[in-house]
Amino acid sequence: MRVSGLIISYKNGMNVLTGNSVTEYPVGDLLCRIFQGKTLDNITRILRNCINACPMRDNLLTQDEIEDAEHYIIQTLLYDDFKPAQQLAQGSFIRCMECYRALDSRTAGQLLYQERARAGESDVLFKAIGFDTVGDFLRLSYNNYIIDLYNALTLFTGMASVKSGTASPEEQATYDEIRQQLNNPDAVPGIEMRTAYDAGREEFSYSYVISSFLAMAVFEFSHLTIAATKVVRCHNPECRKFFTAKRINAKYCPFPAPQNSGRSCNDYYPQLAHRSKVKADALREMEKRAFCRLYNDKRRHPEATVEIKGLLRTLQIESPGRRDRVLIGALSEVEYQAWLNTIRREKGRSYDE
Ligand SMILES: [Zn+2]
């Protein structure tokens, strides 16, 4: 049986990945990186396309054909976006294939009956599934892969929003629901512990092979309570992604900012916020001068009190909306000032007459 997946060793709050080089991620960080952004969408689209385009899809399903099909899947997923995500996806798909190929015919028949019913109710699952041809078998495996991915994303969003203290009522409800399901010890597939003895250091080392998205989410969250890292939600209102930080009051994420994909939120957004604050302050200053002018006018010309009060009211009511329009770029500062200049008594008019 082939075992593939993301291999992680966990040490003191860090996940250690060994490949060509050793990379360490604080607990929760890998989860936030893999489960957000476009990576998993891209991988899943590639999988779907490669299943539809599989050259041996009409071949009858034999053990040799399954071997070839697994090889084909691994090859098509060897693209270099974010390696840990790719390894997790490969492992998840191969696990589904390995589970199904090991079934006796009676169990396979029962399973197929259930899987067909589930696919009938869904828009994203393949309908033509089975154990007859390679194509049917790959589609069956894909459906299982997708269910695992959806469960994991649901757990991730629910748990991350609750842990970061930002859960909406819907997110809280989702979290409560998935927690109930996780009571079942069979709910989480695809995690295997491996040990190796290091004779030089005279100690055992442990690593985990993770071949399920749901298992990845559970693995990370199970360590989060004892880790130094916190899950935080980005304060950039257009982003709202989750990320890990040492302090719960961290504000902006290290992922590309929706307003400027060339820069990260933590680099870009504070500047943006600062710039708009500076601009808002300047607009308030302009408004304040307009108010002062009217108050001075009122003091000097008590006979025009009624008219000036009307002007003050206009300024009070209309100015905030115009200021907001300047801040979103729908009105220029010059236009705003020009409008302020019109909130005054008509020029040349004398109240002494
Ligand atoms: Zn962000």
| pLDDT of residue 262 exceeding 80 | yes
| pLDDT of residue 351 exceeding 60 | no
Ligand 1 centre to CA of 31 (Å) is: 15
Provide mean pLDDT across the span 87-95.
94
Ligand 1 centre to CA of 168 (Å) is: 18
> Taking Cα atoms as reference points, which of 283, 279, 273 lies closest to residue 322?
283
Residues with CB under 5 A from ligand 1 (ion): 234, 236, 239, 241, 253, 265
d(CA 343, CA 261): 42
CA dihedral 4, 8, 9, 15 (to 10 degrees): 180
Name the burial class of residue 307, with classes exposed (0-12), middle (13-18) and buried (19+) by CB atoms within 10 angstroms of its CB: middle
How high is the pLDDT of residue 3?
62
Provide mean pLDDT across the span 293-308.
92
Provide mean pLDDT across the span 97-106.
92
Ligand 1 centre to CA of 35 (Å) is: 14
| pLDDT of residue 129 exceeding 70 | yes
Cα 338–chain centre separation:
44
- Cβ neighbours of 215 (radius 10 Å): 26
Ligand 1 centre to CA of 325 (Å) is: 24
Ligand 1 centre to CA of 23 (Å) is: 23
Give the three-class secondary structure for 228.
coil
Provide mean pLDDT across the span 192-207.
88
- The one-letter amino acid code at 348 reads G
How high is the pLDDT of residue 183?
87
Enumerate residues 6+ apart whose C-beta is below 8 A from 345. 297, 304, 307, 308, 311
Q: Please tell me the pTM assigned to this model.
A: 0.78
Enumerate residues 6+ apart whose C-beta is below 8 A from 350. none
Residue 19 pLDDT class (50, 70, 90 cuts): confident
How high is the pLDDT of residue 348?
47
